[in-house]
């Protein structure tokens, strides 16, 4: 029997549906209709009323306050427009409007990065001083040093390194584990980051650490516990049955409250499979890109605060980390679908914007940190790049061989998962 001929219209429709599912996922009617119906006229009237109030009622004698109020008003209206016009991406919980605002904030941040890219260093510093005058009193040389007295291995010495940033490591890697959901990729990237710190330690003194700090405290304890906890959360969410009921169909008050709280949990949970024993070379390249993008994005954090002299605990640094973390969530999902789904021929919009943000931040660091990068050891950077590529390839090949020669473990784990799902149902 001859193979059926594929209908071009059907193939095109499949590609569109595949892209739509990750770029603007539709919402099922499972909640209150009021929160999912458009209220554009109401929103317009409220916005105009707010503008009239703040434009005509407030005092306008202070020029700096006028400028800040004008900027806030522009951002406010841009986020409203983003709720009305932008795609919500692959997530719809707790509400698609929140993810549209996240996309709007990512576009605003990208525009801010592009603006800074076309300024000189003194202008950027003046802008930062205008937002926070206390930055004039901070110098990057006053940062805490981690790579001194490494031979002094005492409990007090080790405990002094367990600061707020150690908890940041833990929660950061737990968040990354929930996003990536692959133990081998997470452990490989964790080790690769320590190699990145070694390669760039001559430029960033904060990267100079004692061996026990880097290997034991960072990789094994903070990163390792974060990865373990994150994957345990993923395992619990993966084994859960997702059968939603509209809150208006629930009659008890306790049930309504429980359903409202569950609105802040995932609508569904997809088992990811980044690598496959029979995956194509394009997926191998995509995995190497993921690892390099990850390293560059992390490097941008440290270079930005070092070049523009901000303390690690400064609100600017914290706000950027939170924003990038929220942006990365839909970006990783869209990148995964683009890499693994053969019917998805376009990368998601949020992922595209995040790629622009990452490149823009890197260009800002290179342009405004010319004095710093003059001290670059080219050999370190070249070796770092080669090691990252080689380790990525070695990891992919090792993973393929593991699943080729140990298929029974994979089959056993899948059967266990299926039995658990059947019991839950």
Mean pLDDT computed over 395-401: 71
Assess whether pLDDT exceeds 80 at residue 260: no
Cα gap 220→130, rounded to integer Å: 41
Biggest alpha carbon–alpha carbon distance for the chain: 83
- 347 pLDDT higher than 90: no
End-to-end CA distance of the chain: 40
The mean pLDDT of 328-344, rounded to a whole number, is 86
d(CA 86, CA 424): 37
Range of weakest confidence among 46-50, 144-148, 333-337, 366-370: 144-148
Averaged over 77-105, what is the pLDDT? 87
Distance CA 48, CA 59 (A): 19
Gap between the Cα atoms of 75 and 57, Å rounded: 20
Q: Is the pLDDT of residue 84 over 80?
A: yes
**In this structure, how many other beta carbons lie within 10 angstroms of the beta carbon of residue 74?**
11
pLDDT confidence of residue 248: 66
Average per-residue pLDDT for the chain: 79
Q: Cβ atoms within 10 A of the Cβ of 360, count?
A: 20
Burial of 366 (0-12, 13-18, 19+ CB in 10 A): middle
Are 80 and 43 contacting, i.e. CB atoms less than 8 angstroms apart? yes
Q: List, for residues 277-313, the tens digit of each pLDDT value.
A: 566 677 777 777 888 888 889 999 999 999 999 988 8
With bands split at pLDDT 50, 70 and 90, how would you rate the model's confidence at 324?
very high
Higher-scoring residue by pLDDT: 330, 54? 330
- Residue 100 above 70 pLDDT? yes
Q: What is the pTM of this model?
A: 0.81
User: Has residue 4 got a pLDDT over 50?
Assistant: no
pLDDT, tens digit, for every residue of 219-252? 888 889 999 999 898 888 776 666 666 666 676 7
For range 81-100, the mean pLDDT: 85
Predicted pLDDT of residue 322: 92
d(CA 158, CA 56): 58
- Tokens of residue 281, six digits: 């070379």
Predicted pLDDT at 417? 43
Confidence of residue 121 (pLDDT cuts 50, 70, 90): very high
What is the structure's pLDDT at 241?
65
Q: Cα angle at 325 between 322 and 330, to 5 degrees? A: 135
Is pLDDT above 50 for 424? no
Q: Which of 414, 172, 392, 405 is nearest to 273 (CA)?
A: 414
Whole-angstrom CA distances from 384 to 290, 302, 375 are 16, 17, 16
The reported pLDDT for the residue numbered 126 is 92
- Amino acid 192: pLDDT: 87
Instruction: Write out pLDDT tens, residues 153-192.
Output: 776 767 776 767 778 888 889 999 888 888 878 888 888 8
Per-residue three-class SS string for the chain = CCCCCCCHHHHHHHHHHHHHHHHECCCCCCCCHHHHCCCHHHHHHHHHHHHHHHHHCCCCCCHHHHHHHHHHHHHHHHHHHHHHHCCCECCCCCCHHHHHHHHHHHHHHHHHHHHHHCCCHHHHHHHHHHHCHHHHHCCHHHCCCECCCCCCCCHHHHHHCCCHHHHHHHHHHHHHHHHHCCHHHHHHHHHHHHHHHHHHCCCCHHHCECHHHHHHHHHHHHHHHHHHHHHHHHHHHHCCCCCCCCHHHCCCHHHHHHHHHHCCCCCCCCCCCCCCCCCCHHHHHHHHHHHHHHHHHHHHHHHHHHHCCCCCCCHHHHHHHHHHHHHHHHHHHHHHHHHHCCCCCCCCHHHHHHHHHHHHHHHHHHHHCHHHHCCCCHHHHHHHHHHHHHHHHHHHHHHHHHHHHCHHHHHHHHHHHHHHHHHHC
300 HSE (CA, 13 A, CB side): 22
- Flag whether pLDDT at 387 surpasses 90: no
The full set of domain ranges for the chain reads 19-137+276-376
Place of tokens 């007090």: 156
**Residue 16 has what pLDDT?**
61
Phi, psi for 319 (deg, rounded to 5): -65, -40
- Residue in 210, 67, 47, 194 with CA at minimum distance from that of residue 131: 67
């Amino acid at each position: 029997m001859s193979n059926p001929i594929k209908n071009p219209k059907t193939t095109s429709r499949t590609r569109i549906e595949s892209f739509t599912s990750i770029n603007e996922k539709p919402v099922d009617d499972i909640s209150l209709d009021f929160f999912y119906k458009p209220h554009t006229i109401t929103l317009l009237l409220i916005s105009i009323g707010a503008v009239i109030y703040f434009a005509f009622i407030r005092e306008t004698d202070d020029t700096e306050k006028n400028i800040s109020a004008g900027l806030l008003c522009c951002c406010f209206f841009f986020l409203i427009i983003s709720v009305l016009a932008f795609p919500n991406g692959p997530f719809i919980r707790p509400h698609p409007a929140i993810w549209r605002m996240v996309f709007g904030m990512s576009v605003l941040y990208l525009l801010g990065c592009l603006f800074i890219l076309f300024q000189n260093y003194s202008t950027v510093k003046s802008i930062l001083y205008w937002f926070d005058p206390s930055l004039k009193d901070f110098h990057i040389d006053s940062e805490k040093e981690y790579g001194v007295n490494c031979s002094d291995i005492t409990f007090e010495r080790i405990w002094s390194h367990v600061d707020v940033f150690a908890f940041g490591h833990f929660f950061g890697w737990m968040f990354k584990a929930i996003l990536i959901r692959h133990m081998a990729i997470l452990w490989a990237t964790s080790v690769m980051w320590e190699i990145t710190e070694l390669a760039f330690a001559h430029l960033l003194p904060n990267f100079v650490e004692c061996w026990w700090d880097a290997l034991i405290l960072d990789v094994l304890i903070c990163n390792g516990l974060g990865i373990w906890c994150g994957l345990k959360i993923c395992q619990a969410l993966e084994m859960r049955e997702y059968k939603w009921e509209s809150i208006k169909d629930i009659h008890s008050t306790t049930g309504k409250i429980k359903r409202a709280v569950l609105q802040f949990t995932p609508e569904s949970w997809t088992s990811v499979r980044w690598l496959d024993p029979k995956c194509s070379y394009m997926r191998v390249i995509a995995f190497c890109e993921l690892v390099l993008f990850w390293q560059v994005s992390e490097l941008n954090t440290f270079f930005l605060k070092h070049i523009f002299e901000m303390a690690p605990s400064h609100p600017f640094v914290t706000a950027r980390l939170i924003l990038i973390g929220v942006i990365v969530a839909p970006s990783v999902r869209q990148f995964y679908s683009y890499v693994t789904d053969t019917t998805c021929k376009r990368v998601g919009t949020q992922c595209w914007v995040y790629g622009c943000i990452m490149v823009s931040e890197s260009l800002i660091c290179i342009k405004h940190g010319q004095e710093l990068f003059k001290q670059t050891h080219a050999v370190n950077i070249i070796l770092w790049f080669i090691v990252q590529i080689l380790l990525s390839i070695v990891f992919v090949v090792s993973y393929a061989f593991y699943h080729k020669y140990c298929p029974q473990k994979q089959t056993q784990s899948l059967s266990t998962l299926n039995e658990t799902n059947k019991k839950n149902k």
